[in-house]
Structure formats: structure tokens, C-alpha cells
Structure 1
Amino acid sequence: MRYSDFIKQTISNENGIDWNYYKTGMPIENILQANRSGIFIRKYFESGGKELPLLLNPTEATNFINTYFAAGCKENTLSFDFSEMYLLPDDRAIHTVSGFFLGLLIESCLNGTRTLAIESSNQFPFAYLWFLMFLYHDYGYCVTERDNSPISTPERAPIPDMLFTWNPLRIHRKEYDALCRMKRELGIDLSLFSPYPGSLNRVGNFRQNNEINLQRALLRELTQRTFTVTGRPRLRFNTGAKIIGHQYTSIITTRYFNYCINERHKVDHGIVGGYLFYDRMVKNYLSAYMTVLYEREGLCVLGDFHYRDRHFCQEQLPIFSYIADCISAHNIWKQPEESRAAYEQYKLDVLLAENFKNITFQENPLLYILVVADSLEPTKVYGGLPPQKVSDAIDIEYLPAHHVLTFSSRNSEVSIEILYRKAKGLEDWTSVRCSELNEGKFTLHI
């Protein structure tokens, strides 16, 4: 089956794969073309009342509900004019939309009709989890790859050895300098690693005039709900997988962030995207709550309410944290052979070749599907060719719930050997197993 045909069949609901979680009209014509892919991403977030995560302007993001506390304003705080600053570059947007559908195919191959879901009193199926994760996973490129980037890249970031940090499990506070600078420039007040907003780490929660700062109090309440663990796994999938912590600690994430600045001369888009996602999703939740609170004159429960016919509940908050963690982790790489000395210098011990723990579906289902889809998405793999030509050329055969994908190409210009090399590389850091290339085909066991 041509990959382009799979996308068409999914959009038209011919194959029974649920992709449109909100069941609303979406721009689906010429979906893998410049401009069209970016609009698709934006419209999906708008459909769910989740526009705020797409907002990069730090002033607007930091002060997004101030008008409510000042005057009880009833305007929709999630309405703002989109500009080029909020849109992924065309190639990244096309990759994102194409990879979104590839992830749906991979999930079907893994689970069939028993779609992956998080067990909860509310329903959180794969279609909901996947749209949030994959349509946002590269959004950090809006920050890190733009000529008019809203942040400045530091010339140097702290190195552990320079700070006399002998214990790799402890971190000197100055190691956070570059990360804190990025958060400050983007108006990020919340951390996916901490139960409290950074600005609240002081005694008291009051304005100078002793009035209770409701905005900060509510942010504190929401982040506490995110990190509450009551002896049970924080999240449990219907496959039995339990998510009880982060893929990588705050220390590893921070040191990898610094490593990228110094050694790769760039700010890591995955870590930026993870921090952006969690900060904006929690604020989006609070903004929706404040809108409903004023409209209903106080008859609204923070942990369970409806906004624009969308259900918001406290069980979403640890999910936001988990998705942010996957976005942050998806671009943190196992030590390449030539980079061992640098990884050791930055004390990235868990990423060293002998210590790295391969990503598996059994232990971290969403992260696993994310990295496989991100690695094999054809329009990115064949970046020099027109996306439509690529999606028409690549054949993918599979049976639902059989865990096997077979790839081939119908066009000699789209050499299957290129995709094969990407698939073979997955063996080094995931549980994927890839056959040899034989007669223009290879098989992936997922």
C-alpha cells in the first residue's frame, strides 16, 4: 500500500483508524504541501481549545490572564493573531503532519482494534495523546531554527568539571544558567520536573498590598495536581505499562542542553519544546478555567469543568507532564562513538553506550512510537525530494496487531536503501529489529 494511500484512507475513515479526536472539520486537502501542513497543526490545537501552547511571545504568555484579575474580563483569552513566528518551517510542518499519520499506522500495527489508551475514569485514547505529542514534538524549531528567534543562543554554557562537581548525581546551581535564560526569554514559569512554579519558591503568596495572588495560587494548585502520586503509578496504559517518572532526570536534561550549546552550537529543540508544552498547557488549562469561572459567576470546579464543549479535568495534568517529558527526551541521544569524551565531561552517565537503556514499547509506549515514527517519516528521510513524490513511492505493508512492517519503494528515485539505513539504525537505541534488505524490501519487527 502506498503511504499516500494510507493517509487518504485514514482521513476518509476507510480503514477504521481514529485520527480526528475532536470530530471537527479539518483542512485535509493537499495536506503534505507547504502552508497546508502548518494550518492543519494549528487547526487541530484550536479544535481542542488548546491554542496557548502555540504562543511563543513571552510577554503575552506571562501576562495571559492578568486582565481577568484586574477587571473580570470576559473576552476569550485564547484568541490571538497568529504570525510567522508561530508556524513551523514548511519542511518541519510537512514532516510533522506526515509523521502524525505514520504514528497512527505504527500504533495500529502494534495494537490493532485495541487502541492504546491511558486507563482513567476519563477516556484518553491514542488519538488524543498522539495529536498532542507528535503535532508538537518539533515545535521547538520555531525557537531554535529561526533567524528571528525569540531567544538568544549563549556562546557558552556551564560545564560540570569547571564547577568542581565530582558527584554526577548532584548538580551545581550554575549549571542551570543557560536553561533558566531560555525559560526567562520565552516566559516559561513552570518546569516539568518541579511541583511548583519557579517564581513561587519563596515564603508567602501575596501581592505587596497583601491581596492573595490568585493567578500564582492557582498555578501552584495545578502543578501540585500534576505531581501528586498516591502510592500508585502516576499513569497506567491499557497495555500494562506504568509511567512513574521521567525518561531522563532534570540533571541529565540540563547537562545535555548545555552540551548541545557548547558542542553542537545549537539550542536543543526537543528540550525547548518539552518545557514550552508543559508551561503553556498548564496555563491554557488555567485560562480556560478562568473564562468559565467568570461566565458562571463562580460555579466552576478547578479539577473538572467544560470549556467550549471541551472537557478539562485534573487527570489531564500528569498526562501533559508525561507528553512534555517525551518531547524533551525524543532528541536526547545515546552517546555516539566519537563523542564519548564529551559525554563523560558533561557527566551524561546514563547516555554512555554501556549504560544506555534502549527505548521499548513495553516500558514507554508513547515515546517508543514517537521515536520510531520520527526516525522513519519518509518526507524527512528523503528531504531533497518533493513530499508527494516520496509518499507516493513508499510502500508499507502490515497487518493490525502483528508487530511487523514491510517497506519497499515504487520509484527508483526514492531509493529504499536510504530508508533501510534509518530503520537499521533504530536497533542501536530502541527494541526495533530490522531484517536485511532483500529484493528491494526490508521488514521491521516492532
Structure 2
Amino acid sequence: MRSRSTLLDGRCTISRCLPLSLYRARTTRPLENHHGQTPVRKRLNSDMPASTVSSRHFYQNETLLDFVARSSRPVSLRQLAFFGMKLTNDKIIQSANFVRQELPTRMAHRIHDMQSLPYSIVRNNHISYVYELYYHSFNTIRRFPVIKTVDDNDRFCDVLRELLAHHTAVIPHLVMGVIECSDLIDSKRMDNFMESMLRSRISRRVFTEQHIALTDAFLKDPNFKPTEQVGQVFFQCSAADVVRQCDTLARSLTQSSHEGIPIPELVFEGDVNTKFACVASHLRYMVGEILRNTFEASAERYQAMGNPPAPVLVTIIDAPQHVTFRFSDRAGGIPPEIIPYLWSFVKGPRSMIRHHNFKQVPVLEAIVEELETFVAVARGQRKRISSLTSLTTRSPTLRLGMGLPMCKIYAEFWGGKIAVKSIEGFGCDVFLHISKLGNESRFVQMNNI
């Protein structure tokens, strides 16, 4: 038997090395509603202490291992789009049961990933919080009975909405946790862990929110036939319009933190009439983060040198398989000490500043809507909150340092990529390639379990 000190030194994993005494789960009698389920709010409303990790979950759990042994069922953007073209009661129920069966499988794989980390890392309060949150969600969904009626689905969607809201706390806790544990494990392994967690999170949220959107559309009008949008999928998303929308938002955010500072204008070139199918909220997030970085750098350069900002050149290329965006600015480029850590969630010269800032961001969805929420609140408007809008109203002055790493995950998730070319003292070119529906995205399935 290994000693407790051996377990805590970070060289051994929980699932292999915990003593048998810690495999025993504590038995509790949960509060149940009339469906025989523990209410989500009762379970998740309070912070879950790290001490429950060893005694409740890190044991040879046959139920969890059974789900880990299962493979996810792939689903593509094309399937999401065409499934919702004509909705019926049977299709809504079919979609609900797909989500009910698929979510526990994908969450079980992520729970197992956390179990494979060194014990000293999972005992971190932030990582432990995420683990507990995932385990509660895993149990909530797997215990939900088979959905047979539209009323069953309505109750199921209520559970999904509440779980989605609770999981907005995942990203801040994950980032703070991996920063705090950055000296306990190889940074490359920790970055791989983060990327795996976030890719899986995207895939789960896409088909979960797509199901909720289809349910809402069907309940509103059972005979509705979509022409431009099915759930979250837009068939004719205008590339230039997305950039303009993000320009307005990023400009407002930058002006709120740099009052009186001129913000560069955008100049378009290339295939400006390009339209393609995509999940528009993901595209808006990527473009919004790129423009926000550009405007912030331009404002800081103006404050330092006083030169009027040069326009940002936006080039749109409609290639046979991809749509490519290039953003060219003259904002001075990226400091050379930052470039090696540009895509890292863990390391970098500003990691402790990021950690401090994340303490002020209790929830984060990594979607552009949460920045719209800030702008609306700043203007005294009441912003409608939905499952696609974060509850946070974080200040634009908080530098989180994860915009580009998240853009990379979003782009690669949809079969694309992002690249940055920086010339110190001059500016940056950012290239964003997005796969078109029917090309790579037809084969790049959402099986990032």
C-alpha cells in the first residue's frame, strides 16, 4: 500500500493508487422531486469542497467505467442542419433521447480524464469543483427516464437549460486550476488536457443547444419551415456582415476602456458577398476576439506614440472548401516574449495576471453574446438572458489571455485553423480558415468526446 505522502506528490494517479478504504462512496439520501430526481439547483447551488473528491468519486465505479467503454455517436453540422428542416413530434423525441444517451457518454470520458491526472492536481479546489460539477451532471442525465412524449421532453429541456447555466462556471475554474498547477505537470500535457476538455464542451453544447432551439421552434409553430436558419445553424451566413457586427461590438468595448482614443476603421477587400453555412455564434466569437485584440493594441499604440491608427484591412476569400478571413493591422505586432505562449492556456509571462483577472469572472461561455451583455448593461439596457447568453458582465479591461487559444479550438473543431504572423514594431496578420458545410465539416464529426 502506498502512503498518503506518495499520493500527494503528483507521481501517481487516483484511479490506480488510492487505498481501498477511499474507494467506498459515502451514502447520502438526496432530496428528490416528483420525478424521482435530485433537483439540479439543490445539488449545484453551493461550492463543492475538494474533500469530497477522494471519498465519493475516485473509486472503481462500474457505472462510470461502463459509459467510458462506450463510443460516442458522431454527428456533423450537415446532420444538425438537415435534421431540423421538417420537425415532428417523433423527431423531437428522437433528438431528445439522442441527447439523453450521448451526454453521459461524453461526460464520462472527461471525468475519466480528470481521474487520470495526478492526485495533487485534482485536489486543487478549481479542478475539484469542475470534477464535482461534471459528476453531478453525468448522474442527472443518465438517470433521466426514457423520453416518450413531448411533455417528457419539455421537462428534459428544463434540466438541460439549468445544467447549461451551471456549466458557465467551468472555463474560469479550469483556467485558474491549470495555472495554479502549472508547476506540477508538464505544460504540454496540461494544455492537451485543456484542449480536450474544451473541444468536448463545444460538441456537447452544440447538440444540446441545437435540441433546445429545435424544441422551442417546434412548440412555437409545429408547421414552421426554416429557410435561413435551423436552430443554431445558419444556411446563408454573410461573412462581411458577421465582421461588421463584431466591429460594432469590439469598437464599443474598446471605447469604453479607452475613452477618446481613435479606433481604426475597417477596409474590406476580396469576396465580400460570401455567404456560407455555419454556427454563427462560434464565428462571431472568433472574429470578435480577433478584432478586440486588434483594437486594444491600436489604442495602446496610439497612447504610446500618438500616431493616428491605420485602417485594419479585412480580406475575405471564398475558396471551394474554405472561407478565409485575413485581418491585417499596423498596431505594432506582438511582444516577442508572448509569441511562444500565444496558444497556451497554462504558461506565459502574464499567467498570474490572467489568474487574478479570472477571479473576477465567475462564469464564462466563450461566446460573443456575453460581451454584448456587458455593452447593454453599460448602456443601461436590459439584456435578455438565454442559454446562448452568458450571465456574466465582465469588464472589457480584464485581460484573460485565452481569446486566441479558444479561437484555435473553435476553428479546428469545425475543420479549420487559425494562424498569426507578427512583425515586431509594425503589425499582425491573422488568418482564420473556416470549413464550408459539405466539405471537411461533412467528415469532421462532432465526436470529440
Using structure 1 for the length normalisation, give the TM-score: 0.30
Which structure has the highest helix share of the two?
2
Relative contact order higher in (CA < 8 Å, ≥ 6 apart): 1
